[in-house]
């Protein structure tokens, strides 16, 4: 049985060609490099768009790497012990984001040693999955939003997602009506409030926005307000009838289990990095399948597509989110071609080994070798 011999990490800033706001012009990627005692190597990453990248890097270098050396490098075997080791610093959030850097590198090393993609190790259940066009667009005016919608249509998407949460719900309705006019009645329209509302405002807003037929409302309330989501789901079962989607800001399988038990959401969207990697993502997907709740992975299409292709629930085909001009391949952040392609509203894998996600070194910086920490 192989063991972890070394783990290293470095922080990269990937500039966004389409900023997500005046103060969000890049995203933080913490590239990890793992070496096993049998010589196999793997590359993973942690990710945080704006806040906490330096903290994630520090956790990886000073707490995760020393504790990982000597532990099993069999995928999934070390995850629980490492999570328990980090728990003093928090059960989720920065700790699980950092732990993803180790978990992804372990899976990558195993697949590279087998000269196969990770999806082959997990068991691919489909050849492609649905993809939808998405964007960080609450700050767009209607003309910009309509232009973005046209680009999504031109790329062949059958579904799109738009941010809501303007000061007045009438503004949101005007924007969504403009989008609906562009996409027509047969394409899906998802909406995302990014935790901006309280319970009463969410109720009032969704009674109005139901007019455009949203496929779901994402994060209408604070992510940790499970009781609020339960009550909102009860209220929406009446006139609005809009499914609630949560998960991008839930960090552990325990929180997902609580959401699923309580009926707080009808769709879950785990972010593979934020929950701690492939190992906990698979546990969460199994919980959702048992509860009869669809899983649509959040962001990171180059990674999410690979896992979505392995989901086993035949009745709930996943959606993969493609934020406009934000894919790592689109941004030129990868050493090699992207391991996935999205075209005609479908996401598929390209030929690759492992995860196929090694990041380019910044100009003037040589690739660093993994070192014992």
Max alpha carbon distance in the chain (Å)?
61
pLDDT in tens, 97-138: 999 999 999 999 999 999 999 999 999 999 999 999 999 999
Catalytic residue among 161, 163, 229, 352: 163
Whether 163 is catalytic is yes
Burial of 129 (C-beta count, 10 Å sphere; 0-12/13-18/19+)? buried
pLDDT in tens, 53-94: 999 999 999 999 999 999 999 999 999 999 999 999 999 999
Are the beta carbons of 133 and 157 closer than 8 angstroms?
Answer: yes
Whether 161 is catalytic is no
- Measure Cα distances from 108 to 42, 117, 356 in Å: 5, 8, 8
Give the span between the Cα atoms of 95 and 100, in whole angstroms: 9
Confidence of residue 373 (pLDDT cuts 50, 70, 90): very low
> How many residues make up the chain in this entry?
373
Name the residue with higher pLDDT: 268 or 316: 268
Residues 6 or more apart from 261 whose CB is under 8 A from it?
Answer: 291
pLDDT of residue 23: 81
Give the span between the Cα atoms of 373 and 354, in whole angstroms: 24
Are the beta carbons of 176 and 149 closer than 8 angstroms?
Answer: no
Give the span between the Cα atoms of 25 and 20, in whole angstroms: 7
pLDDT in tens, 330-347: 999 999 999 999 999 999
What is the token pair recorded at 244?
């609630």
Q: Within 10 A of 53 (CB to CB), how many other CB atoms are there?
A: 22
Give the span between the Cα atoms of 264 and 260, in whole angstroms: 7
Catalytic residue among 229, 251, 296, 298: 298
**Residue ranges of domains in the chain, CATH in brackets:** 4-113 (3.30.390.10), 120-349 (3.20.20.120)
Per DSSP (E only), the strands in the chain are 4-15, 26-36, 41-48, 129-134, 159-163, 188-192, 217-218, 244-246, 267-268, 319-323, 340-343, 346-349
Q: What average pLDDT does the structure give for the chain? A: 94
What is the token pair recorded at 197?
């509302």
* CA angle (102 as vertex; 68, 255 as ends), nearest 5: 105
Are the beta carbons of 166 and 172 closer than 8 angstroms?
Answer: yes
What is the token pair recorded at 193?
């409030």
Three-class SS of residue 343?
strand
């Amino acid at each position: 049985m192989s063991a972890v011999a070394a783990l290293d990490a470095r922080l990269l800033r990937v500039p966004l060609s389409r900023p997500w706001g005046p103060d969000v012009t890049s995203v933080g990627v913490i590239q990890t490099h793992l070496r096993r005692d049998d010589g196999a190597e793997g590359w993973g990453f942690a990710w945080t768009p704006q806040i906490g990248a330096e903290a994630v890097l520090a956790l990886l270098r000073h707490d995760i790497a020393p504790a990982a050396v000597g532990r099993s490098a069999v995928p999934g075997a070390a995850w629980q012990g490492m999570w328990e080791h980090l728990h003093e610093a928090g059960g989720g959030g920065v700790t699980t984001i950092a732990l993803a850097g180790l978990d992804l590198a372990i899976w990558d090393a195993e697949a590279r040693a087998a000269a196969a993609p990770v999806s082959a190790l997990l068991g691919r259940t489909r050849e492609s999955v649905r993809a939808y066009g998405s964007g960080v667009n609450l700050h767009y005016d209607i003309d910009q939003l309509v232009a973005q919608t046209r680009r999504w249509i031109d790329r062949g998407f059958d579904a799109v997602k738009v941010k809501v949460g303007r000061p007045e719900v009438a503004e949101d309705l005007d924007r969504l009506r403009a989008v609906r006019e562009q996409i027509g009645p047969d394409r899906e329209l998802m909406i995302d409030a990014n935790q901006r509302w309280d319970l009463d405002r969410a109720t009032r807003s969704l009674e109005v926005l139901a007019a455009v037929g949203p496929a779901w409302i994402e994060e209408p309330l604070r992510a940790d307000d499970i009781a609020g989501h339960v009550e909102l789901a009860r209220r929406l079962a009446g006139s609005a009838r809009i499914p609630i989607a949560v998960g991008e800001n839930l960090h552990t399988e325990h929180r997902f289990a609580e959401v699923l038990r309580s009926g707080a959401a009808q769709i879950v969207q785990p972010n593979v990095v934020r929950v701690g990697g492939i190992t906990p993502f698979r546990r969460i997907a199994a919980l959702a399948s048992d509860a009869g709740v669809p899983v649509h992975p959040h962001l990171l299409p180059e990674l999410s597509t690979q896992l979505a292709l392995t989901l086993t629930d035949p009745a709930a085909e996943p959606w993969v989110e493609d934020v406009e001009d934000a894919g790592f391949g689109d941004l030129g952040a990868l050493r090699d071609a992207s391991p996935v392609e999205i075209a005609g509203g479908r996401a598929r894998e390209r030929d690759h080994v492992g995860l196929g996600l090694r990041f380019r070194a910044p100009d003037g910086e040589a690739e660093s070798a993994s070192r014992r920490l």
